[in-house]
Structure 1
């Protein structure tokens, strides 16, 4: 199918220089394909809630980067973590972006990205008022994500959000999801299968990882005792890292050592827990910035991904999966469901059931027995990433979805 040239309006409250998987590099790719691209976003402030240096909040500002027009709009920005403050932030941006979209130059396609549950309103309005097809990109499956955080699935607000999201899914010309499980869930909710395409997320730091791997290629990678297992990322309720710590604590420090790197609401409690139980083979270190973390990851023997046992996580693929595979390291995967199956199909490590100390212990023992296969597991991980989850592979899938959305409007 020949690519159509189009004017794309990409709407996301989160955008470069904030961390975003689908950000400026993807927009530049579309420009290089011959498309005209405009981004509607706000002033960068995530995750601190403070506007980045070099930016000041105004009603509207416009910049050009790599041929991409970036229009930044005022929105409520707050340091508060309250639900009301977050809702005000989302809604203020959504209505500002809605008016900008309706009053701006007509687009051939609207792509609503973040947050999908509110920017979907813009897609619906553009389709109804201006006849413009829209794509919605589902990174968080709502209201399932709310239920996973503890909200009552029978509550009025959860049911209302569920019905609203169904309207967004069914009204969209095309729906992009990050896993096969998400696709099955949307089909169960009445979305036509031909409208839903699985496009795996990629690791935006591909080039940085490539550089680190080149620098490491001359190093002797023969492993020695103890086995160094590394977790890098958020330490929150969703990660449930106490389970991982409990499992590792059963091993002798001369055989296994676990390092946790990052921040999060549970970090202090985990540090206290390790001290109280005098766990000698687990160490928690502070956050390392993205431009340095991959050099740290390259020194580990095994990378670990763990989430708590929840139905939603069994059909999602956490972003740490992509970066871990791209690093070319054996992986201890304790997420369950689709992500565990993905690692097994790649033959890139071992799997365990999330939240299950005994299962994780058995997985670590299996890893130790297969020490001579770690090199092959790492190579398999890297190969699987390049063939299934890389930017180039999934950029091509997105290009195909753009064409389908416009042709089937």
Structure 2
């Protein structure tokens, strides 16, 4: 008898996000291992990650053993309230659609916890096995993102939801080993796997490029690509860094998010001509931009919760062979120092540290073939798919 798997992901291609690429890679890995014995339903949303790069996709799309169903969300922005409303709309529709079929396993890949909670709810209703892929520690983040008196009450509420979801799961994957220090003491009886983010196939043949020309007067081309929110804190470091470096560097910031306006205001207020803000772009164009850059820039805000995380962007940065300047701390800083060659770390929001770290970089691109092979997304998702299929085979 054919088994049925339901995959819940708030983002899915053609949406541009780490979660969407990860979800698609897992679906591809599952299809490659099932030989027509399993049906997979993907429940997701119409592209909504970036309003500047939104495009309609088919509401229902079938690809072999996979059926993708995308629900329409109300217009929303990056604020907490708007995002909550958008997720509520997704949850209501997903819950209704999931009730039309019977599933053996529910898989939820979740960054802000609530997709995991939704997966737990649907799995309970269906008496299905539950596999959670946890990509963030939302409870810790809430305490720092929201000032008193809201942070602690919100953390308490989400903490209850987290215990309810994690406690129900048959298997929980953590996207980084840095999360173990949080989850293991709280859930000592839970089984955790560690299938990390990785390097997508698009980056396997990424050209390393030529070293930066040290022509007199030629500015260093520094590129950041990704989300621009509180978590990245770009508005706290890019304007100051650009002002200090002046004509010696040109910053290209590609992306969007809740702190884009704050960054734009800071750039305008300081009358900076060496910072260019570009809306999100397709991966093909992004690869070209990586090739043109001299240095790739990465930054996380100075929050204690971020000492446990490992930015997904780091994997594609590393695959390019380009020099990397990373403002990170904790687990991410240790990872960069031990795993990524020709990369320098500075403490988040530390202007002087960023200047010093940049001075240590070699501007000659160097292939990181061992890194790419070790963190191949295809290999990592293959192992994760095996875990999911094991649950499916054990399902009644």
TM-score band w.r.t. shorter chain = 0.7 to 0.9
Q: Does 1:148 align with 2:147?
A: no
- Show CA shifts across 1:157-212 (max 9, x none): 3201111111211210111111112122111222435x1111111355x32x3455
Q: Which runs of 5+ in 2 are unaligned?
A: none
Which residue of 280, 286, 296 corresponds with 2:278? 286
Deviation at 1:354, TM superposition (A): 0.6
Question: Paired residue for 2:324?
Answer: 331
In structure 1, distance between residues paired with 2:52 and 2:211:
41
TM-score (normalizing by structure 2): 0.84
Q: Decide whether the 8 Å contact of 2:111 with 2:137 is kept in 1.
A: no
Aligned match of 1:379: 367
Return closer, same or farther for 1:360/1:108 CA change in 2, 3 Å cut-off.
same
Looking at structure 1, the residues matched to 267 and 117 of structure 2 have their Cα atoms a distance apart, in angstroms, of: 46
Paired residue total: 382
CA 1:166–1:294 in structure 2 vs 1: closer, same or farther (change >3 Å)? same
Report the structure number with the largest CA radius of gyration. Answer: 1
TM-superposed deviation, 1:95: 3.3
- Structure 2 partner of 1:197: 193
Once the two structures are superposed, residues 21-62 of structure 1 have per-residue CA deviations (whole angstroms, 9 ceiling, x without a partner) of: 22334323312211321112343343329984365xxxxx64
Q: Report the TM-score when normalising by structure 1.
A: 0.81
SS in 2 for 1:379: coil
Q: Which has the higher contact order (CA 8 A, sep 6+)?
A: 2
Distance 1:283 1:81, change over 3 A: closer
Contact 1:326 1:386 in 2 (8 A): no
Query: How much has 1:260 moved relative to structure 2?
Result: 2.9
Larger mean CA deviation between 10-19 and 300-309 belongs to 10-19
In 1, the alpha carbon distance for the partners of 2:122 and 2:262 equals 47
Matched residue, 1:243: 237
Structure-2 residue corresponding to 1:33? 33
1: CA distance, partners of 2:278 / 2:315: 22
- Looking at structure 1, the residues matched to 125 and 262 of structure 2 have their Cα atoms a distance apart, in angstroms, of 52
- 1:345-384 counterparts in 2 under 5 A? 345-346=338-339, 347-367=341-361, 370-371=362-363, 374-375=364-365, 378-380=366-368, 382-384=369-371
Determine the structure 2 residue equivalent to 1:401.
387
Q: In the TM superposition, what whole-angstrom CA distance separates every residue of 1:52-84 from its partner, at most 9, and x where no partner exists? A: 4365xxxxx6431243112344x6422355544
Q: CA deviation at 1:235?
A: 3.4
The correspondence for 1:17, drawn from 14, 19, 31, is 14
2:233 equivalent to 1:224: no
Taking the aligned partners of 1:385 and 1:159, their CA distance within structure 2 comes to 40
| Separation in 2, partners of 1:22, 1:247 | 32
RMSD of aligned C-alpha atoms? 3.1
- 4+ aligned runs moved over 6 Å, structure 1: none
Instruction: Name the counterpart of 1:167.
Output: 164
**C-alpha distance in structure 1 between counterparts of 2:267 and 2:317, whole Å:** 25
Deviates more, 1:300-309 or 1:270-279: 270-279
Contact 1:343 1:351 survives alignment (8 Å): yes
Pair 1:47–1:84, CA change in 2 (3 A): same
Partner of 1:261: 254
155, 173, 185: which one pairs with 2:182?
185
